[in-house]
């Protein structure tokens, strides 16, 4: 609150030291001091700069009104408030962004002339926005959904946007189907629900009538669609693009972002509970990591190939429902992306950032992927609707950070003040910018020919083989999650024929999967397999890179331990744990019966981060139970304390416990017989070893026993 404002009773608020916020207010954009300041404190003004005497009461006749329309301060304040919202994105409405940089490892001039890849160690400023697809702006973070992974690189040759997802394939092969898939997945138009959920008739109706979506469906029903953190997801450019070098030679490329901290997802049962306990779980995670100096990092890797590889590969490299397995074509590391700064203001940057697939610098080019070609049209169009003016590139987050010069002018909200008389070229006055055939973007001179038709290429017709390959590449547990996810989603579909039609597709992917889902849905008879344009190939090698569990981090770095304490908690154990976590680059939160904290065994005070009711164990990657003998008796009476432990166990998490916590384990239904390698006795000496074991993240062997769906 500005210090000059008055309290509701009309008295001035107590003046304190000026905050950073105030300091900013005090200086205009050019750094000039505000005209009005009382001591250190800037005076509240209207948007026109006029000082405001009273911001608590409208202008009235007499103390009880009527109000006067001449109250320009009230009118302006409410006018602006009434217009605070802009249309949310039609897809990917809920998102969270951060600033950072891309650092190039070594010159790549052999493949691309793009300036950002010419020098080792060169840093290019970046802004990244992660998102869900289906939910509205205020929806929860842990929806089962694809995650957007959109990267804007402010290169010296203009902005380059890699507008990707955390899944390397897509639902549809042609952009003309995009409105249909999105209409189908979003809330149904009559009831306006469900929000941020694909578990409804319209979505599965469309999917079951669209066999090309089957590969993507395997991904979306896998744990990839419920990531633990944005920091632990892969990103993909999805389409095949081109790199073009100075000699105008082209190399095909697929973009991969690999998280430095490894991949990790949550279980569906956890996701449901996280959404209730902390709908902003992913936002909070990114915010906290960056604000505490733990900057998330991804490696950019290129899968590069030539026309000969494209011709010999099993599938069409222009088909966005297919990937190239990493075992077949290993990706090559080319640089790293680090996110090290949160926006000062969410709206100004994260909400107003405009990504566009067509933003490419010279040296990066498109392929003929029909989905990409359609996207290149759509993204410019949508910015005009959402940001309201063709001058959306004037908004700082969208403006290039390299020199730029053009003759585009005027329009709503023009922010620039061009000088001089010349606003066209060529001109006789030798003024203004001119095109540069050497430096400018030159499309790769591919030769195209063919009849003008609306046609789907026959080479796009195999819809099941890679869906099967993905499924068989998962661990047994991950396969079980896919079956459970399909059963859950289809159980929400009211129209039986849609459920059956989906199972008929699954029969073309994997019979065991189909029969698990069919049984789970209580189908009386199994349907026939769906007609397939191309029979499913059984010979594609499993690709272990497709599994999250097979590519786990094996370390607890970047993860969070929930430590449950009470009065009397053993201070030495707590200290040893905290030291072990610090060494591992991990964090923790203290959960106590009361948020005020608890008194440790040595009389010291343990500050708590959460009270037990506000911090279910789903918010943590592992838990440590450190209650003292007296404290545990109170916890036994608390449902939330029992759930804390029971859920941690059911979610296959590591649980460290001191002797005095044993009754709580028992009360949570975990008997000595259930104890496994993940239920670990804790003393001060064991703390370091405990943290080391947390690197495995989950005890998956426990899962069949706890029968989690
Ligand atoms: Fe899209 C937003 C990713 C297909 C049309 N898309 C959007 C965002 C991401 C993607 C990450 C959010 C960007 C941000 O954070 O602001 N979209 C994809 C991927 C696709 C894809 C990986 C397939 C490979 N999209 C796609 C198609 C179309 C669109 C086929 C239309 C023909 N997408 C849009 C859009 C959005 C968008 C309507 C909404 C807001 C925006 O662009 O700026 O234009």
The model's pLDDT over 344-357, given as tens digits with 9 standing for 90+, comes to: 999 999 999 999 99
* Per-domain residue ranges of the chain: 1-41, 59-394, 554-708
Taking the centre of ligand 1 as the mean of its atom positions, its distance from the CA of residue 146, in whole angstroms, is 12
Taking the centre of ligand 1 as the mean of its atom positions, its distance from the CA of residue 89, in whole angstroms, is 9
Number of residues assigned to the chain: 709
Summary mean pLDDT of the chain: 94
HSE-up of 512 (CA within 13 Å, CB side)?
A: 7
Cβ proximity of 409 and 401 under 8 Å: no
Is the predicted pLDDT of residue 377 greater than 80, yes or no?
A: yes
Atom 11 of ligand 1 has which residue's CA nearest to it? Answer: 148
28: left (phi over 0), alpha (psi -120 to 50) or beta: beta
* Candidate from 147, 163, 370 with most ligand 1 atoms within 8 A of CB, to mutate: 163
| Ligand 1, atom nearest to 164 Cα | 22
> Which CATH number is correct for 554-708, 3.40.50.2300, 3.10.129.10, 3.40.50.880, 3.90.1150.10?
3.40.50.880
Q: What is the pLDDT of residues 557-609, one digit of tens each?
A: 999 999 999 999 999 999 999 999 999 999 999 999 999 999 999 999 999 99
Q: What is the pLDDT of residues 655-680, one digit of tens each?
A: 999 999 999 999 999 999 999 999 99
| Ligand 1, atom nearest to 165 Cα | 22
What pLDDT is stored for residue 635 in this prediction? 96
Confidence of residue 699 (pLDDT cuts 50, 70, 90): very high
Backbone angles phi, psi at 90, to 5 degrees: -65, -30
What pLDDT is stored for residue 34 in this prediction? 57
Is the predicted pLDDT of residue 16 greater than 80, yes or no?
A: no
Is the predicted pLDDT of residue 18 greater than 70, yes or no?
A: no
What pLDDT is stored for residue 552 in this prediction? 87
Q: How many CB atoms lie within 10 A of CB 324?
A: 21
Q: What is the pLDDT of residues 143-181, one digit of tens each?
A: 999 999 999 999 999 999 999 999 999 999 999 999 999
Taking the centre of ligand 1 as the mean of its atom positions, its distance from the CA of residue 390, in whole angstroms, is 19
What pLDDT is stored for residue 288 in this prediction? 98
Look at strands 655-657 and 679-681 and give their pairing. parallel
Cβ proximity of 424 and 407 under 8 Å: yes
CA distances from 587 to 24, 429, 651 (A): 33, 63, 20
Pick 22 or 399 by higher pLDDT: 399
Taking the centre of ligand 1 as the mean of its atom positions, its distance from the CA of residue 33, in whole angstroms, is 42
> Which CATH number is correct for 59-394, 2.40.180.10, 1.10.287.3240, 3.40.630.30, 3.30.590.10?
2.40.180.10
What pLDDT is stored for residue 706 in this prediction? 87
What pLDDT is stored for residue 40 in this prediction? 80
Least confident of 10-19, 97-106, 362-371, 425-434: 10-19
669: left (phi over 0), alpha (psi -120 to 50) or beta: left
Is the predicted pLDDT of residue 11 greater than 70, yes or no?
A: no
Cβ proximity of 153 and 171 under 8 Å: no
What pLDDT is stored for residue 22 in this prediction? 43
Q: What share of the chain is helix, strand, coil (3-state, %, to 5)?
A: 35, 15, 50
What pLDDT is stored for residue 35 in this prediction? 59
Is the predicted pLDDT of residue 324 greater than 90, yes or no?
A: yes
What is residue 595's three-state secondary structure?
Answer: coil
Cβ < 6 Å from ligand 1: which residues?
89-92, 95, 129, 131, 148, 150, 163-165, 170, 175, 178, 238, 320, 353-355, 371, 374-375, 378-379, 382
Q: Distance (Å, rounded) from C-alpha 445 to C-alpha 438? A: 15
Is the predicted pLDDT of residue 13 greater than 60, yes or no?
A: no
| Average pLDDT of the residues in 521-550 | 97
What pLDDT is stored for residue 188 in this prediction? 97
Q: What is the pLDDT of residues 438-478, one digit of tens each?
A: 999 999 999 999 999 999 999 999 999 999 999 999 999 99
What is residue 287's three-state secondary structure?
Answer: helix
Is the predicted pLDDT of residue 24 greater than 70, yes or no?
A: no
On the question of a cis peptide bond just before residue 66, with omega within 30 degrees of 0, the verdict is yes
What pLDDT is stored for residue 336 in this prediction? 98
Taking the centre of ligand 1 as the mean of its atom positions, its distance from the CA of residue 403, in whole angstroms, is 28
Look at strands 250-259 and 297-305 and give their pairing. antiparallel
What pLDDT is stored for residue 461 in this prediction? 98
Pick 35 or 643 by higher pLDDT: 643
Rounded percentage of the chain residues whose pLDDT exceeds 90: 93
Is the predicted pLDDT of residue 132 greater than 80, yes or no?
A: yes
What pLDDT is stored for residue 497 in this prediction? 98
| Ligand 1, atom nearest to 237 Cα | 22
Backbone angles phi, psi at 361, to 5 degrees: -85, 165
Q: Distance (Å, rounded) from C-alpha 492 to C-alpha 144? A: 14
Kindly list the catalytic residues. 92, 165
| Ligand 1, atom nearest to 130 Cα | 15
Q: What is the pTM of this model?
A: 0.95
Is the predicted pLDDT of residue 648 greater than 80, yes or no?
A: yes
Q: Distance (Å, rounded) from C-alpha 703 to C-alpha 266? A: 13
Is the predicted pLDDT of residue 269 greater than 50, yes or no?
A: yes
């Amino acid at each position: 609150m500005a210090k000059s404002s008055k309290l509701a009773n009309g008295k001035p608020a107590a003046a304190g030291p000026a905050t950073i916020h105030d300091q900013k207010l005090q200086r205009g954009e050019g750094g000039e001091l505000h005209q009005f300041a009382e001591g250190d404190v800037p005076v509240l003004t209207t948007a026109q700069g006029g000082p405001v005497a009273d911001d608590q009461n409208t202008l009235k006749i007499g103390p009880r009104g009527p109000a006067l329309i001449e109250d320009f301060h009230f009118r302006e304040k409410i006018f602006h408030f009434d217009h605070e919202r802009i249309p949310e994105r039609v897809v990917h409405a809920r998102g969270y962004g951060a600033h950072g940089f891309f650092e190039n490892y070594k010159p790549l001039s052999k493949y691309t002339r793009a300036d950002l890849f010419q020098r080792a160690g060169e840093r290019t400023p970046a802004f990244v926005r992660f998102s869900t697809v289906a939910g509205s702006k205020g929806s929860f973070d842990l929806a089962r959904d694809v995650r957007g992974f959109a990267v804007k690189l402010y290169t010296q040759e203009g902005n380059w946007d890699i507008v990707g997802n955390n899944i390397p394939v897509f639902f549809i092969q042609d952009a003309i189907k995009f409105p249909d898939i999105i209409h189908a997945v979003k809330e149904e138009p009559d009831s306006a629900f469900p929000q941020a959920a694909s578990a409804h008739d319209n979505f599965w109706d469309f999917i079951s009538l669209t066999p090309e979506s089957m590969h993507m469906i395997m991904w979306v029903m896998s744990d990839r669609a419920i990531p633990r953190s944005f920091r632990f997801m892969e990103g993909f450019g999805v389409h095949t693009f081109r790199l073009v070098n100075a000699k105008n030679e082209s190399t095909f490329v697929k973009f991969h972002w690999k998280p430095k901290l490894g991949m990790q997802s949550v279980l569906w049962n956890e996701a449901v509970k996280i959404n209730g306990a902390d709908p902003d779980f992913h936002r909070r995670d990114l915010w906290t990591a960056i604000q505490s100096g733990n900057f998330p990092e991804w490696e950019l890797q290129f899968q590069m190939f030539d026309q000969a590889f494209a011709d010999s590969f099993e599938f069409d490299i222009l088909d966005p429902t297919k990937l190239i397995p990493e075992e077949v074509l290993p990706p090559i590391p080319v640089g790293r992306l680090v996110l090290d700064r949160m926006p000062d203001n969410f709206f100004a940057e994260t909400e107003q950032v405009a990504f566009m697939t067509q933003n490419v610098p010279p040296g990066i080019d498109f392929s003929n992927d029909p989905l990409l070609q359609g996207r290149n049209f759509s993204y410019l169009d949508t910015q005009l609707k959402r940001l309201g003016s063709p001058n959306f590139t004037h908004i700082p987050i969208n403006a290039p950070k390299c020199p730029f010069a053009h003759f585009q002018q005027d329009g709503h909200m023009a922010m620039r003040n061009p000088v001089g008389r010349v606003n066209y070229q060529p001109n006789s006055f030798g003024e203004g910018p001119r095109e540069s055939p050497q430096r400018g973007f030159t499309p790769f001179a591919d030769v195209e020919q063919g009849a003008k038709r609306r046609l789907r290429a026959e080479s796009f017709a195999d819809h099941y083989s890679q869906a099967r390959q993905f499924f068989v590449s998962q661990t047994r547990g991950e396969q079980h999650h896919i079956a459970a996810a399909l059963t859950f989603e289809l159980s929400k579909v009211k129209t039986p024929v849609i459920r059956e039609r989906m199972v008929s597709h699954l029969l073309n992917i994997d019979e065991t999967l189909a029969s698990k889902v069919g049984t789970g849905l209580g189908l009386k008879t199994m349907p026939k397999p769906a007609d397939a344009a191309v029979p499913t190939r059984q010979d594609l090698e499993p690709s272990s890179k497709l599994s999250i569990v097979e590519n786990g981090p094996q370390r607890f770095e970047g993860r969070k331990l929930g430590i449950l304490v009470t009065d009397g908690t053993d201070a030495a154990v707590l200290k040893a744990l905290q030291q072990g976590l610090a060494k591992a680059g991990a964090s923790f939160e203290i959960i106590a019966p009361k948020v005020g904290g608890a008194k440790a065994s040595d009389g010291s005070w343990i500050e708590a981060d959460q009270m037990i009711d506000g911090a279910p164990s789903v918010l943590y990657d592992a838990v440590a139970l450190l209650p003292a003998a007296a404290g545990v008796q109170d916890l036994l009476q608390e449902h939330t304390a029992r759930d804390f432990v029971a859920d941690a166990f059911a979610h296959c998490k590591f649980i460290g416990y001191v002797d005095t916590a044993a009754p709580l384990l028992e009360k949570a239904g975990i008997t000595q017989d259930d104890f496994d390698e993940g239920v670990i006795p804790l003393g001060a000496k064991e703390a370091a070893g405990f943290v080391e074991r947390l690197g495995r993240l989950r005890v998956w062997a426990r899962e069949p026993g706890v029968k989690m769906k």
